[in-house]
Amino acid sequence: MRRLILSTCLFLPLSTSPAQVVISEVMFDPAGPENADEFVELVNVSPTDTVRLEGWSLGDGTGSDLLSDAGEGISLGPAGYAVILDPDYFTSSATYDSLIPATALVLSVAGATLGSAGLSNSKPETVTLTRPDGRVEDAVAYSIGNVPGHSDERIDPDGPGGAENWADSRFLFGTPGFRNSVTRPSLNLAITGLSLAAEGGSLFLTAVAKNDGRTSSGPFSLRFFVDADLDSALEDEEALPRVFSCPGLAPGDSAEVRTPVDLRSGRGRAAAALMSWNDGNPEDDARFLDFSIPHERGCVRINEIMHHPLPGESEWIELVNAGHGSVDLREWRFSDSDTTSRRLVTDASCTLAPGDYAILAADPSFRTKHPDISALSLIPNRFPNLNDDADRACLFDPSGVEIDRVEYTSGPGQREGNSLERVRINGRSDDPSNWHLSLSPDGSTPGRPNSLIDPGTSSETGFRVSPNPFSPDGDGVDEVTFLEYSVPAGNNRIRLRVFDLTGRLIRTLKNGEEEEGTGFALWDGHDEDGHAAVIGRYIALLESVPVRGRGRTVHCRVIILAGKL
């Protein structure tokens, strides 16, 4: 906002006593007709005394006219506004009729125009207000160059009349008869700051309340809210329990209020508001803050990937809510190995309850070809082209935090229309043994539990095989066997191999992976080359060697590979 820059020689001498009535606004370049829409506004700065303006005059430095009654009297009440309109306004304009409040006093002048020939737009003039005895009550000079329809306004009615106390109006048509747009209210508390920060593992909301008025405030109270429905309407059930009481503030002073807050992951909105408070600007009595709390890694997981569909079918990724609370997928993103190009999952609110599935499909035909799926199915724009042989699928929450990542390669038995399934929902996404080709006769299980039945974590120590026998014969029952184990405390390198009874190596399931505590692998009855092993007995050998230290732990179990009778 441009400030007026005026030479002191433009100001007439003022009386030594402070003015009771001051010139507070000058509309010298109106948006409407020049001969009708100019006005000058006065303010009675006394909070108690009424001033009778009979015999007072208004001038522009070269001529002056007596103020005249426009039908509402000639007395200006305490803290009241008066709007002096050009005589032609009453017959040829209505620009300010809806703006001037009923509480304001409307006046005019006895002459034909304001000043000698109207207020000049080409050179600055000095506007004077003179008492009946000839004493100048107030005198101000306006600058030129305002946007048409934007008046010059006094910033502080109680302040001096110099250029530093004037500025261009922020409003078209100015503020005739009410508080100037550049003037602080007499009484105004405002919430000027609201922030959210983490400290010591906890989140804190901090609000700043400032006395932005011209007089001291009394005591006030402040309360925090979590706007659960994001409608910016503060309701009692959205309020945090504690109400903070604060002492009064002097003009310009601030108070900081801080409270711990427990916020759910995802996007949300918090607020701080003054309670039971009335002042000159209620619009700043509350402040809102949009935030994004990162989700816990793995709360939503990639559960199945169809990266090599049948011709005419759609690629898709299945998500599962592996956490304990509902998650809104709005503004989540996903990508392939090019994580710089992240696709929006959805811009609408889509809630995923614990254990529920969501399908991200590349083509709307997915829905028509899978009409029996009750799970949430979304068709994001610009679905990435998943490579058939090897690629990566990544999932990001609205704050940009990577929540899950799966790297896959085509393994033995991979064929078109066969998805890659997670074995254990809570198993590691980066553990190749936690992923296997779907054993479903349909080739995939979108929107329902994966085909591999997880027997669960064993409470036993040592080494366990289940089911045993198992029969990888394509009927969808007991197609793989799970090899679960526990190892000594600390990090260990694991080697897990399957041999036939002659001692010939059939399959290496783990080969030096570093693990701690419990682990598992699965065997699908195939050898290293992807060929089906013959029916019979096999030996599973587990070796565990500490990463640091000495020693070696060995377990072995007999596995029975069965077939159809």
- Where does a domain end: 451, 484, 503? 451
Give the closest residue to 2 by CA, choosing from 180, 147, 162, 210: 147
- Where does a domain end: 451, 476, 492? 451
Domain limits for position 48: 8-168
Here the CATH number for the domain that contains residue 316 is: 2.60.40.1260
The answer to whether 485 and 503 are in contact (CB under 8 A) is no
Say how many C-beta atoms besides its own lie within 10 A of residue 224's C-beta.
Answer: 24
Here the CATH number for the domain that contains residue 465 is: 2.60.40.4070
Give the closest residue to 315 by CA, choosing from 358, 362, 360: 362
Q: 91 and 110: one domain?
A: yes
In a domain, 3, yes or no: no
Give the closest residue to 284 by CA, choosing from 185, 187, 211, 189: 189
How far apart, in whole angstroms, are the C-alpha atoms of residue 367 and residue 373? 8
Q: Higher model confidence: residue 170 or residue 563?
A: 170
In a domain, 250, yes or no: yes
What's at 196, amino acid-wise? L
Q: 415 and 521: one domain?
A: no
Give the closest residue to 170 by CA, choosing from 40, 284, 25: 25
Q: 198 and 57: one domain?
A: no
Give the closest residue to 285 by CA, choosing from 297, 276, 298: 276
Q: 145 and 58: one domain?
A: yes
User: Residue 1 — pLDDT band, cuts 50, 70, 90?
Assistant: very low
User: Residue 373 — pLDDT band, cuts 50, 70, 90?
Assistant: confident
98-110 b/e with 16+ CB inside 10 Å = b? Answer: eebeeebbbbbbe
User: Residue 413 — pLDDT band, cuts 50, 70, 90?
Assistant: low
SS3 8: helix
In a domain, 42, yes or no: yes
In a domain, 87, yes or no: yes
Q: Please give the structure tokens belonging to residue 114.
A: 């304001």
Q: 81 and 12: one domain?
A: yes
In a domain, 182, yes or no: no
Q: 120 and 205: one domain?
A: no
Q: 307 and 447: one domain?
A: yes
How far apart, in whole angstroms, are the C-alpha atoms of residue 260 and residue 411? 50
DSSP state of 456: -
Q: 394 and 492: one domain?
A: no
Q: 154 and 214: one domain?
A: no
Q: 442 and 301: one domain?
A: yes
> Residues 248-293: pLDDT tens digits?
999 999 999 999 999 888 888 999 999 978 888 889 999 999 998 8
DSSP state of 147: P
In a domain, 178, yes or no: no
**Which 3-state string (H, E, C) describes 485-538?**
EEEEEEEEEEEEEEEECCCCEEEEEEEEEEEEEEEEEEECCECCCCCECCCEEE
> Residues 452-494: pLDDT tens digits?
765 554 444 478 999 999 999 888 788 899 999 987 777 888 9
Here the CATH number for the domain that contains residue 247 is: 2.60.40.10
Q: 156 and 195: one domain?
A: no
In a domain, 127, yes or no: yes
How many domains are there within the chain? Answer: 4
Q: 327 and 426: one domain?
A: yes
In a domain, 238, yes or no: yes
Q: Which residues share a beta bridge with 192?
A: none
- Where does a domain end: 451, 468, 503? 451
> Residues 83-102: pLDDT tens digits?
999 999 999 999 999 999 99
% the chain with pLDDT above 70:
94
